[in-house]
Chains A and B, each alone.
Chain A
Amino acid sequence: MIARLLRRAGISLIVLAGVLLIGFLMLQVIPADPAVAIAGPQGTDDEIEAIRRHLGLDQPILLQFVWYISRVVTGDMGQSVINNASVSAELLRAAGPTIELMCAAMIWAVPTALALGILAALRRGGIVDRLVMAVSVMGVSVPVFWVGLLMIQFAARTRAFPIQGRGGPLWTAEGLSHILLPATALGLILVGPVARMTRTTLSDALHADHVRTARAKGASELRVVLNHALRTALLPIITLVGLQVGTLMGGAVVTETIFSWPGVGRLAVGSIITGDYPMAQGAIIFLASAFILVNITVDVLNELADPRIGSRS
């Protein structure tokens, strides 16, 4: 198991290096010259040249990449060309609200999806089952920005909930009411796929031989469903939720932008729009690394949930 995880971590490192390379190349191909941007509209050619030398932009590209990597590894992702703020510091500040938003989305969406999926599997063809199928088709075809805009329309008209920004810590009423709409919009992405996966894997598992054994032992129906059928069906569900975290991060970018949520997603979009490329690059590297980390975590969870995986390889 340890060896497998190490190998997995190795692969992730390679992927991460690829992300860094793309981030680095992005800065190379963009039309704007960072030196010009830093020097500002009044910068003279000499000043620009000095800044360029100072940033090492006159050195060979390979060397620049090596420097770049060593800087990123030590947590230095440069400065914003807009306000000179440290990119790492800005990212760290924005990470909190993004994590908060994603957790808030998952905390209601995953249990809801599980419950819907279980009910659908237990009563196939019933009302919940049809609802789950409808919602999962809808969730796939209705983009999150559409849902978000609808909510804003609704909230603006009824003035029921705030629609802009973060209202402080979640344990305050203000904080809670602010996160309600964005978390709902973001969580909706998860409900359909997770409910459908739960329904499918659980209805298969309910017909498994070992579930029949559990019934033959005299286990109650609740115990049979939760402890035996769901327990073995959990694996693909965990995997799916893990993979959906990637989708969720994409959704967070959109949701944060719509609801002005001060997270990494809005930071990324905002910095791209304003041409703050070091900041944009930092945000993208940050999101990609988070994605990789989540995937490793899913792997570990899978291994813990199914003892067969570890011994298979």
Chain B
Amino acid sequence: MKHMTLPDSVMTAPPLLTVENLSVTFRTDSGPLPALDGISLSIRPGETVAVVGESGSGKSVLSLAVMGLLPPTAELTASGLIFDGEDLQAMSKRTRRDLRGRDMAMIFQEPSTALNPVQRIGDQLIEAIRLHEDIPTPKARARAIEALAATGIPSPELRVRAYPHELSGGMRQRALIAMALIHRPRLLIADEPTTALDVTVQAQILDLIRDLARDNGTATLFITHDMGVVAEMADRVAVLYAGRMVETASASDLFESPEHPYTLGLLGSMPQLNQRGAAMLPIAGTVPDLRQMPPGCHFHPRCPFADHRCATQRPDLRPLAGNRRSACHYAPLLETLETRA
């Protein structure tokens, strides 16, 4: 697992990004929709933090909130949103925009639609370069070709003239990665960058993101619903359920002893763990409607550990031994299991 290789300096450096008590509510025709509720997390320079959760748990909303790309229907509140020592909420729109693409960049889930369909790949990269750097187009073109080459795209000097539809899905995602990393951003947000790709390409793209991020010293907020990908990429993990953070821990701790039944469930759908005979708890049911949350623990209708207390009393995200937190009344789970048995 990746965290083993992280130098100590990373663990003690001040955070690059701090999110404190972030909530996002959408105004919709059928009333307010609380997509995120009280999220706190931080990323240190060079670190990779994975955000996991089922579809609809608020992962994309979190990444858009950090990028400052939420739609106008979204209402954001946070007691802190600090990037590189600067308060993102207090920033002018202009300053915030200057950060985007230069200091913080994003890769999206759908490479097939994330590129402008009527603009050549090269022109899209050149635009990304020239938005933040005043260099002549020919020079920018050379840089673009270089950046494409660094992502392993064959004959990049030809690809710059291609339109997106002339490239494969994997190629497009490489081009998008090249574009996102062109200014060596300090923070990269990757929102399910491999979900739309073939399994064989997935591994290559994961390797590429990890290698390029390491070479550039880029911190990564890696968003996925796939625990296998988390194991591949993450130093630390935050587990989201229905807009709330239910567990956060280092990747090694999380895989060794998950402290939230939902995390257990997510791990249960990982084939390797099943073969090892680890707890297999496929999560029954679906994510509840965010507008009509069940009282008590939001997970209780689906939780195999739930009892009467869970149905009425909402668990806080509380610290456990080691540098980790869980929002379950019955964490640490192992002790609970022993006393209940």
Are A and B part of the same complex?
Answer: yes
Contact between B113 and A208, CB atoms less than 8 A apart: yes
Q: Tell me if B254 is interfacial: C-beta within 8 Å of chain A.
A: no
Q: Tell me if B69 is interfacial: C-beta within 8 Å of chain A.
A: yes
Q: Tell me if A33 is interfacial: C-beta within 8 Å of chain B.
A: no
> Of the candidates A209, A227, A308, which one forms a contact with B165 in the assembled complex, judged by CB atoms under 8 Å apart?
A308
Interface centre among A214, A215, A216, A232 (most CB of B within 10 A): A216
Q: Tell me if B314 is interfacial: C-beta within 8 Å of chain A.
A: no
A212-B69, A215-B69, A217-B131 are known contacts; what are 15 more A-B pairs with Cβ within 8 Å? A210-B114, A210-B115, A215-B100, A217-B100, A217-B101, A217-B128, A218-B97, A218-B100, A219-B127, A227-B127, A307-B117, A307-B118, A308-B163, A311-B165, A311-B166
> Of the candidates B108, B117, B118, B131, which one forms a contact with A212 in the assembled complex, judged by CB atoms under 8 Å apart?
B108
A291 vs B18: C-alpha distance when bound (angstroms): 62
Which chain A residue shows the least CB distance to B112? A209
> Of the candidates A218, A305, A308, which one forms a contact with B98 in the assembled complex, judged by CB atoms under 8 Å apart?
A218
- Chain A residues within an 8 Å CB radius of B101: 216-219
User: Within the complex, what minimum Cβ distance (angstroms) separates B171 from chain A?
Assistant: 16
Q: Tell me if B102 is interfacial: C-beta within 8 Å of chain A.
A: yes
Which chain A residue shows the least CB distance to B93? A221
Interface centre among A209, A220, A232, A311 (most CB of B within 10 A): A209
Q: Tell me if A306 is interfacial: C-beta within 8 Å of chain B.
A: yes
Decide: A306 near B118, CB < 8 A? Known: A209-B113, A217-B127, A219-B127: yes
Q: Tell me if B179 is interfacial: C-beta within 8 Å of chain A.
A: yes
Query: A280-313: which have CB < 8 Å to B?
Result: 305-308, 311
Q: Tell me if A228 is interfacial: C-beta within 8 Å of chain B.
A: yes
Q: Tell me if B81 is interfacial: C-beta within 8 Å of chain A.
A: no
Binary contact readout B217-261 vs A (1 if CB under 8 angstroms, 0 otherwise): 000000000000000000000000000000000000000000000
> Of the candidates B67, B113, B117, B132, which one forms a contact with A216 in the assembled complex, judged by CB atoms under 8 Å apart?
B67
- Chain B residues within an 8 Å CB radius of A212: 69, 108, 114
6 A-B pairs with CB atoms under 8 Å apart are: A210-B114, A213-B108, A217-B101, A219-B101, A232-B118, A307-B118
- Chain A residues within an 8 Å CB radius of B65: none
Q: Tell me if A231 is interfacial: C-beta within 8 Å of chain B.
A: yes
Query: B82-101: which have CB < 8 Å to A?
Result: 97-101
Q: Tell me if B37 is interfacial: C-beta within 8 Å of chain A.
A: no
Which chain A residue shows the least CB distance to B99? A218
> Of the candidates B97, B106, B117, B132, which one forms a contact with A308 in the assembled complex, judged by CB atoms under 8 Å apart?
B117
Q: Tell me if B274 is interfacial: C-beta within 8 Å of chain A.
A: no
> Of the candidates B67, B99, B105, B131, which one forms a contact with A219 in the assembled complex, judged by CB atoms under 8 Å apart?
B131
User: Within the complex, what minimum Cβ distance (angstroms) separates A100 from chain B?
Assistant: 33
- Chain A residues within an 8 Å CB radius of B157: none
A47 vs B54: C-alpha distance when bound (angstroms): 93
User: Within the complex, what minimum Cβ distance (angstroms) separates B119 from chain A?
Assistant: 7
